[in-house]
Amino acid sequence: MNKLGILVFILPFIAVFGQETEGRQINIVYGANFTKDEEQFPGASIFSKDSERQVQFEHQGADLWCDVAVFYAKDNKLKAIGNVRLQQGDSIEMNSGKLDYDGNTKLARAWENVDLTDNTMRLTTDTLYFDREKQQSFYNSGGKVVDSVNVLTSIIGTYFMEIKKVQFQDSVHIDNPDYVIDSEQLHYYRVSKNAYMYGPSTIVGEEYTIYCERGFYDTKIEQGYGLKNTKINYSDRIIEGDSVYFDKVTSFASATNNIKVTDTINNGVIRAHYAEVFKEKDSVFATKRAVAINLVQQDSLYVHGDTLMVTGPPENRNLRAFRNAKFFKLDLSGKCDSIHSSEKTGITKLITNPILWNVDNQMTGDSIHLISDLETEKLDSLRVINNAFIIAFDTIGKQGYNQAKGKDLFGKFIENELKIVDLVKNTEVIYYLYNDENELIGIDKTICSKIRLEMANNDIEDITFFIDPAGDIYPEEDWPFETKKLKGFVWRGDERIMTKDEIFDEDDNNIKLVSIRGIDAPIDIDAEEQERNGGGNPKVNIPKTNNKATKPKRQVVKKAGSR
């Protein structure tokens, strides 16, 4: 049958059936060679290409070309075989080896080397399902999407053409010259290049590694945040928190709620509810129940302040605790307005109204310095500068206080225990003396230029007076003075920090954590922007959240959570 005969045969049939299906009928544009095979394809018309061109069909804005077409006009279905090309509008083009198309539902199934492009993106897979009614394509046997920035692969993928979004599931992988992303589930917007991660996900860049189970990432500028079990390995620090934000360009990271910042070189840890890390400045800022934890001679040292700052490279790292500063380790604790500690000098300074407790010994002065041995990193000595005063309750008689004062105090630690205390200039002492049977011998009151206290088990074992000592030992009943306290005596035993939890006051313990919007699922700023601009957003399988906080502006990704 010649081509004219084919058209005469087909066109009346199309016209009649087209009226019955109200315009849904698949139309033949070029039939070329026509035949039938009722045994293999009952009820179908078979068209094949000729020497000039392929078979061509048209259906509601889409054109299809192929080498062979098996057309079921009554059912309005088509099987295309060989060099299949489906063109929709000016942008969507799909190529494959074979394709089944249902004109009633506008559903297509393409297989064998499927290739879908839209000018700026190319999707390849073995089998692709294309829903023209919903403008969605889907694969579940592995596929790859390539655009101008990234190469994305997954086992399952859904492409929403109107909003240019791809939803990837199962073994999701993104390759970029600057980073690699692996995720259980990831949604990717092709215009903004924003990625939203659901389930365990890892981002590995040149100088950072990020893990999270909910997260957002701008793949163009390497900026984003994690919202669940987030951990950023950032240079020599690991940052963890309920919400962690990261920006490569500014070398900045911040975290909100239940934060842990680990110094992997100096084995230090900072815990807080808000923290900022500046990589270029090698610094950490932390507040809201902030505490720095360092290992000192197999014992943890806890340092707290309303604000903590750690600055400097590992070999010259400095810790500063500001306002209401306190610290605690098992045999040493203290409080003051601020604490400055230097890794390079090994000196920790307690500044403004400092008080130090070494077990039962209370020490005060204008400022107190603790000095560590730089080689052994063990506590070596201490200095109390100006108005030095040491007091210990008389634990034997339980009726007075052993006291010594002077202008300055110098202490020496041996194997982490305070062994020698020297008080110099205008020194005075009041000391309760006992015999071996713990019977009170008398009370020693002496004035001299220098006093040495030799300690054992954190108690005074011996006292040595230097340069013109003046004083005596008085039986208690013959004590000639009005009081048994030196001038300036202030006992602050009720303030002593006995446990690591006591470095926090009531305000620290009653901090209300900020509500982090999107803690159950990343905030989809692309969808919100489309909604504001009046665009539609098809329903997709995004984990639901009960968070009812008001919608933030687009800047929500600029910080992790709220301060």
Instruction: Answer yes or no: are the C-beta atoms of 181 and 160 closer than 8 Å.
Output: no
Quick one: DSSP state of residue 448? Answer: E
Closest CA to 552 of 517, 514, 512: 517
Identify whether 433 is part of a domain.
yes
In tens digits, the chain (563 residues) has pLDDT values of 444 344 434 444 443 344 344 558 999 999 989 999 999 999 999 999 999 999 999 999 999 999 999 999 999 999 999 999 999 988 899 999 999 999 999 999 999 999 999 888 999 999 999 999 999 999 999 999 999 889 999 999 999 988 999 999 999 999 999 999 999 999 999 889 999 999 999 999 888 899 998 999 999 999 999 988 899 988 788 999 999 999 999 889 999 999 999 988 877 899 999 999 988 888 999 999 999 998 766 678 999 999 999 998 888 889 999 999 999 998 899 999 999 999 889 999 999 999 999 988 999 999 999 998 888 878 899 999 999 999 999 989 888 999 999 999 999 998 878 999 999 999 999 999 999 898 999 999 999 999 999 888 777 888 889 988 898 999 988 898 889 999 999 999 999 999 999 999 999 999 998 888 777 777 788 888 888 876 554 443 333 333 332 333 333 333 333 33
Listed residues 73, 104, 135: the one ending a domain: 104
- Would you list the DSSP string of 63-83? EEEESEEEEETTTTEEEEEEE
Give the per-residue pLDDT at 317.
Answer: 86
Identify whether 487 is part of a domain.
yes
C-alpha to C-alpha distance for 376 and 228, rounded to whole angstroms: 40
- Would you list the DSSP string of 257-301? EEEEEEETTTTEEEEEEEEEEETTTTEEEEESS-EEEEEETTEEE
Give the per-residue pLDDT at 535.
Answer: 57
Identify whether 356 is part of a domain.
yes
Pairing label, strands 165-176, 156-160: antiparallel
pLDDT tens digits along 56-69: 999 999 999 999 99
Identify whether 184 is part of a domain.
no
Listed residues 80, 104, 128: the one ending a domain: 104
Range of the domain at 44: 1-104
Instruction: Answer yes or no: are the C-beta atoms of 455 and 358 closer than 8 Å.
Output: no
Identify whether 401 is part of a domain.
yes
Identify whether 444 is part of a domain.
yes
Give the per-residue pLDDT at 369.
Answer: 96
Residues 6+ apart with CB under 8 A from 202: 181, 182, 183, 209, 210, 211
Identify whether 394 is part of a domain.
yes
467 burial level (CB within 10 Å; 0-12, 13-18, 19+):
exposed
Listed residues 459, 487, 508: the one ending a domain: 508
> Positive or negative, the Cα torsion across 80, 82, 86, 90?
negative
SS3 17: helix
* Residue that has been written with the tokens 């601009």 in this structure: 533
Query: Which domain CATH number covers 421?
Result: 2.60.450.10
Looking at the structure of the chain, the number of domains it has is 2
Give the per-residue pLDDT at 297.
Answer: 63
Give the per-residue pLDDT at 195.
Answer: 93
Identify whether 468 is part of a domain.
yes
Determine how many CB atoms are found less than 10 A away from the CB of residue 42: 9
* Residue that has been written with the tokens 């991660």 in this structure: 197
